[in-house]
A and B are shown apart, each in its own frame.
Chain A
Amino acid sequence: MKKILAIVLMTMLLVTPALASGEATAEAPAAEVAAAAPVAEPECNHAFTVEQTAEATCTEKGLLTYACSKCGLSYTVETLPIGHAPSAAAATCDTDVVCLNCGEVLEAAIGHAHVYQNDYVQAEDGTFTSFGTWVCDNCGDVTEATEGNAVYYAGLQAEEAASGEPSAEASAEASAEAEPAAAEVANPNYDPNAYNWASICLTLTIVIVVVLAVLMLSFGKKKKD
């Protein structure tokens, strides 16, 4: 047991410095030398002047030139790009993100994602009026249903009058016609507003309460028997 422990300890002692030196050597090349400094001549007490040879841009490096006014020695140093200055954190539906320095478009406007909020009313004479709107999913921008949509409804009413087809088609088909991006309706015959849901819910509530009362009372009766 002691031998095994000794071997383990020895191995750890040997491996740890090797790993440590490995890490150190790995880090060394990471440091970048921006410019190679010239070997200065010992007799000159340099007096350097600095000149900006090239200005750094958002993406390109700049260049500074150092020149000694006494001995004429000169060398250059690169400066880092200044980077873009975005006009906003993220693009909106209709506004790009641009760089305030160079004007480059960093992120294009994403565009509206209008979804048709489908609805219409049927007047007593059987005619339809659409009051559907297009609402952007991203920014909430609201666009009223277009005139073309109303024209479509007018045409549909005429068709319905002639064929006697169910009027529920109007809503679904009109939304698909008005903007191609609108969701397709699987069952055009279904109209969510054709049922009186309030009455259905009220009736069912009464049924549930009555059935519950009968069932619970039946337990009591059984006990008496």
Chain B
Amino acid sequence: MLKNKKFAYYAIAFNILGIIFMFMYSGLQNDHYNIITTYSAWTASQIQIARTVAEFVCIVLTFVYGTLFMKFGVRKTLIPCIMLCALACVGITAANGLAVNGGVGEFWLFNISSFVMRCCCMCFQMAGFQLAASWFIKYRGRVLGIITLGSPLFSVVGVGGMTNLIASNWNGDYRFFYIGVAVVLVAMAICTRFFLKDTPEEVGLYPDGADTAPLSEAGDEEEVHLTVKQVLSEKRAWLLIISFGAFQFIINCCMSSMAARFMSLDPAFLSGASPAPTVWLAATKWLSVGAILGIFMSYVFGWIDDKFGTVKASMLLGITEIIPVAMLMFMPEGGNVAMEIAWGFGVACMTGGVPTMHPCSVSYAYGRKEYQSANRIIMAIQLIPSALAAYMMAAMIEAGKGVMAYGICLVIIVIGLIATWMMRTIPDAMAADRDFAKKAE
């Protein structure tokens, strides 16, 4: 891949920018709210209002972004989104509302900024996946494994580091942080414009830096625009929707409910004898360990995808999703260190593996040319149940039915695994160009 100097330049630029895309996506869609919750005078539920609305709007936006990618190209869609995100950062800065300033602020401005930020940052991830699918075939899994390193990086380094930096240097005034993010986003937009191209063909190259066009695309020059009806009438689309819809649903279930679950297993905290949720705070240590492991797991799944095929890698991903669900389900009162370690590892596999394997699976089923026209529909449908996952888990845990809630999650994983297993009947759209196919020859 790196033998072709021109391709190597774009490949390295994409890998670096891809990590930043994922880093920013992970941070701005979710993680940065921890910083606002810590230092603003608004309550946690007030802070989440706009974001919750945006979660539902993002279902439609997935389809809209995908269509815009097809119509105008990735960069022309992505750059305005990056800039809108930068403006949202300025909005959060201007909204103030800091506890250190006595809570004076413009709540309406914060809400608008938060909403815009959540809606726009979603485009970062979709663009990263689209570019990976366009530029790489043989190395697709490993490249996706590398760029998705950015997501757990923000969870581990970003939130903890920034929270401490803001506390020790600016006494809880996070406005410098958001100004800094806005500047980084502007730089990111400039780099995207000048160092990336939508497809290798734009600069006279071929995927993976090959000298010839992919064998699997012989006689298929133009990008295919599948309609919603076409996609939804196909078995392969529904298998993808069910399998990765289930895996994504489980991520949302586990990540949104783990704090509530651990607090429900803390009798001292529940009875009021302990003012702090000590069981949960102790467990977060192992979550950090899990997130660090996740940095490597995304690459491992990508490597398995390249070497052994997408269905095998996806099956393994589904099996590893059982770990965190089972650990949360059977966790005893007061917690258990061994189970918390296993839980952390499972979370790592899940959060690292799904973002890597989802674009791999869509590429496996549809290939480079049909990727986005199918992905926008498949991803949008997958997000519908995922948006309700947090509510389901919160309601069941509050009603004292935590074990049953995680039992339902296990059933959903099994459904996802069955759908993944059925995907083996779908031929790999890029089979002739994949790494594992070459080995089999």
Residues on A facing B (Cβ under 8 Å)? 117-119, 172, 185-187, 190, 192-193, 197-198, 200-201, 204-205, 207-209, 211-212, 215-216, 218-219
Q: When chains A and B are docked, how far (Å) is the Cα of A204 from the Cα of B87?
A: 8
Name the distance in Å between B195's Cβ and chain A's nearest Cβ: 13
> From B193, which residue of chain A is reached at the shortest CB distance?
A215
Q: Is the CB of A198 within 8 A of B94?
A: yes
Which of A186, A192, A215 touches B189 (beta carbons < 8 Å)?
A215
Report chain A residues within 8 Å CB of B169. 186-187, 190
Which of A197, A212, A219 touches B83 (beta carbons < 8 Å)?
A212
Q: Is the CB of B179 within 8 A of A208?
A: no
Q: Is the CB of B171 within 8 A of A185?
A: yes
Report chain B residues within 8 Å CB of A200. 93, 179
Q: Which B90-115 residues have C-beta < 8 A from chain A?
A: 90, 93-94, 96, 98, 100-103
Which of A119, A197, A207 touches B93 (beta carbons < 8 Å)?
A197
Q: Is the CB of B93 within 8 A of A186?
A: no
Which of B94, B183, B189 touches A212 (beta carbons < 8 Å)?
B189
Name the distance in Å between A203's Cβ and chain B's nearest Cβ: 9
Q: When chains A and B are docked, how far (Å) is the Cα of A104 from the Cα of B186?
A: 66
Supposing A186-B171, A205-B90 touch, asked if A197 and B76 sit within 8 A by C-beta, the answer is no
Report chain B residues within 8 Å CB of A117. 102-103
Which of B170, B179, B189 touches A211 (beta carbons < 8 Å)?
B189
Query: Helix, strand, loop or mixed for chain B's interface?
Result: helix
Q: When chains A and B are docked, how far (Å) is the Cα of A204 from the Cα of B89?
A: 10
> From A195, which residue of chain B is reached at the shortest CB distance?
B175
Interface string of B168-196 (1 = CB under 8 A from A): 11110101000100110010011001000
Q: Is the CB of B87 within 8 A of A207?
A: no
Supposing A204-B182, A208-B83, A219-B76 touch, asked if A190 and B90 sit within 8 A by C-beta, the answer is no
Which of B101, B170, B175, B186 touches A208 (beta carbons < 8 Å)?
B186
14 CB < 8 A contacts A-B: A118-B102, A186-B169, A190-B171, A197-B93, A200-B93, A208-B87, A209-B83, A211-B83, A215-B79, A215-B190, A215-B193, A216-B76, A219-B76, A219-B193
Judged by a CB distance under 8 angstroms, whether B400 is at the interface is no
Judged by a CB distance under 8 angstroms, whether B161 is at the interface is no
Name the distance in Å between A158's Cβ and chain B's nearest Cβ: 25
List the 5 closest pairs (A to B, CB-CB), nearest first: A212-B83, A117-B102, A201-B94, A186-B168, A192-B173
Report chain B residues within 8 Å CB of A218. 193
Report chain A residues within 8 Å CB of B98. 192
Q: When chains A and B are docked, how far (Å) is the Cα of A117 from the Cα of B171?
A: 14
Name the distance in Å between A172's Cβ and chain B's nearest Cβ: 7
Q: When chains A and B are docked, how far (Å) is the Cα of A215 from the Cα of B84?
A: 14
A-B pairs under 8 A by CB, number? 72
Judged by a CB distance under 8 angstroms, whether B167 is at the interface is yes
Q: Is the CB of A197 within 8 A of B94?
A: yes
Name the distance in Å between B75's Cβ and chain A's nearest Cβ: 8
Q: Is the CB of B90 within 8 A of A201?
A: yes
Report chain B residues within 8 Å CB of A204. 86, 90, 179, 182-183
Q: When chains A and B are docked, how far (Å) is the Cα of A215 from the Cα of B170?
A: 34
Q: Is the CB of A197 within 8 A of B96?
A: yes
Which of B79, B83, B173 touches A190 (beta carbons < 8 Å)?
B173
Which has the most chain B C-beta neighbours within 10 Å: A172, A201, A207, A212?
A: A201
Q: Is the CB of A187 within 8 A of B102?
A: no
Name the distance in Å between A23's Cβ and chain B's nearest Cβ: 23
Name the distance in Å between A29's Cβ and chain B's nearest Cβ: 28
Q: Is the CB of B186 within 8 A of A201?
A: no
Q: When chains A and B are docked, how far (Å) is the Cα of A190 from the Cα of B167?
A: 11
Name the distance in Å between B71's Cβ and chain A's nearest Cβ: 14
Report chain B residues within 8 Å CB of A192. 98, 100-101, 170-171, 173, 175
Supposing A117-B102, A187-B171, A204-B179 touch, asked if A211 and B190 sit within 8 A by C-beta, the answer is yes
Q: When chains A and B are docked, how far (Å) is the Cα of A17 from the Cα of B249?
A: 44
Supposing A211-B190, A215-B189, A216-B76 touch, asked if A118 and B100 sit within 8 A by C-beta, the answer is yes
Interface string of B314-336 (1 = CB under 8 A from A): 00000000000000000000000
Name the distance in Å between B326's Cβ and chain A's nearest Cβ: 29
Interface string of B50-91 (1 = CB under 8 A from A): 000000000000000000000000011001100100110010
Supposing A211-B83, A211-B186 touch, asked if A172 and B94 sit within 8 A by C-beta, the answer is no
| Apart from A204-B90, A218-B193, A219-B193, 9 more pairs, CB < 8 Å | A119-B101, A186-B171, A192-B100, A192-B173, A193-B101, A200-B93, A200-B179, A208-B90, A216-B80
Name the distance in Å between A194's Cβ and chain B's nearest Cβ: 10
Report chain A residues within 8 Å CB of B179. 200, 204
Name the distance in Å between B187's Cβ and chain A's nearest Cβ: 10
Q: When chains A and B are docked, how far (Å) is the Cα of A157 from the Cα of B101?
A: 22
Report chain B residues within 8 Å CB of A219. 75-76, 193
Q: Is the CB of B182 within 8 A of A208?
A: yes
Q: When chains A and B are docked, how far (Å) is the Cα of A216 from the Cα of B189?
A: 11
> From B94, which residue of chain A is reached at the shortest CB distance?
A201
Q: When chains A and B are docked, how far (Å) is the Cα of A20 from the Cα of B190?
A: 76
Which of A119, A172, A205, A215 touches B171 (beta carbons < 8 Å)?
A172
Which of A118, A193, A207, A212 touches B80 (beta carbons < 8 Å)?
A212
